[in-house]
A and B are shown apart, each in its own frame.
With several copies, the nearest count.
Chain A
Amino acid sequence: MAVRVQREDFDPGQEIAALTANNKTIGGLTVFVGLVREMAKTRALSAMTLEHYPGMTERMLERIEAEARERWPLEESLIIHRYGRLEPGDRIVLVAAASAHRDAAFEACRFLIDWLKTKAPFWKLEEDSQGDATWVEARESDEEAADRWQ
């Protein structure tokens, strides 16, 4: 059970290994990794800057994680979210949930990323190849995805 908000990249393999090490109760681990895509809605991106609210961001992520652990019998869980300037192909976020059974692992992992997207204070500033910078607007589909878990 851990939450990390950091500028540095992370190593999914190392995180997965640490989550499952020495816990022989785990039958399934689901991991989601979000990456910066080159193509935004209508244009090619050269970079993206992620801003966050130090303090509140960690607090909200911890709450999302605690909520997942109340809803599903998880052995382990992890949320890592980066901030700062990222380029296409860079990792942004990792969420993981491990449980005795795969149902719980899948559902909790999906819940973590859906809630994170609507509850955790992060904002994306996209830069295109012309140097134009635009703040990403919240997507209704993200709200709908999070609403499924109400």
Chain B
Amino acid sequence: MRLLYFAWLKQKVGHAEEEVTLPEAVTNVEQLLAWLAQRGDNYAAALSDPKSVRVAVNQEYARPADPVQNGDEVALFPPVTGG
């Protein structure tokens, strides 16, 4: 799975993207965030407030229960502030 981070999520995680292989138990967005949060202090800090994290799976906004799998492009970012 290709993971992308934007804005302050990128700064807190420390990189803009990475490739990961999901454990079998991780099948949806909510599980993905929980799994990421225990990968290190940087992830835990970035994901400490789930309300301020938005997720897109394959460039579509996704909800906690939406499925994820290896091969997906998953982006994590704060609420958008363009315009």
Chains A and B share a contact (CB less than 8 Å): yes
For the complex, count residues of B whose C-beta is within 8 A of A: 14
Q: How far apart sit A53 and B59, CA to CA, in the bound complex (Å)?
A: 9
A103 at the interface (CB under 8 A from B): no
> Assuming A53-B4, A123-B77, A135-B8, is B83 touching A92 (CB within 8 A)?
yes
Q: Which one of A51, A120, A125 has the highest number of Cβ atoms from chain B below 10 Å of its Cβ? A: A51
A56 at the interface (CB under 8 A from B): yes
A-B contact count (CB 8 A): 68
| B56 touching A121, Cβ below 8 Å | yes
Give chain A's interface secondary structure class.
mixed
> Assuming A53-B77, A55-B59, A56-B56, is B83 touching A121 (CB within 8 A)?
no
Give chain B's interface secondary structure class.
loop
> Assuming A53-B56, A121-B6, A123-B6, is B75 touching A138 (CB within 8 A)?
no
A138 partner, pick from B4, B56, B81, beta carbons under 8 A: B81
CB of B28, distance to nearest CB on chain A (Å): 20
Q: Which one of A34, A113, A136 has the highest number of Cβ atoms from chain B below 10 Å of its Cβ? A: A136
| A117 touching B83, Cβ below 8 Å | yes
> Assuming A51-B7, A53-B4, A121-B6, is B79 touching A138 (CB within 8 A)?
yes
CB of A145, distance to nearest CB on chain B (Å): 10
Q: Which A residues from 95 to 150 make CB contacts under 8 A with B?
A: 113, 116-125, 135-139, 142
The interface size bin for chain A is 20 to 34
Q: Which B residues from 48 to 83 make CB contacts under 8 A with A?
A: 56, 59, 75, 77-83
Q: Which one of B6, B8, B79, B83 has the highest number of Cβ atoms from chain A below 10 Å of its Cβ? A: B83
16 contacts between A and B (CB under 8 A): A34-B83, A52-B82, A53-B6, A53-B56, A59-B59, A92-B83, A116-B83, A120-B82, A120-B83, A123-B82, A135-B7, A136-B81, A138-B78, A138-B80, A138-B81, A142-B83
Which A residues are closer than 8 A to B by beta carbons?
Answer: 34, 50-53, 55-56, 59, 81, 92-93, 113, 116-125, 135-139, 142
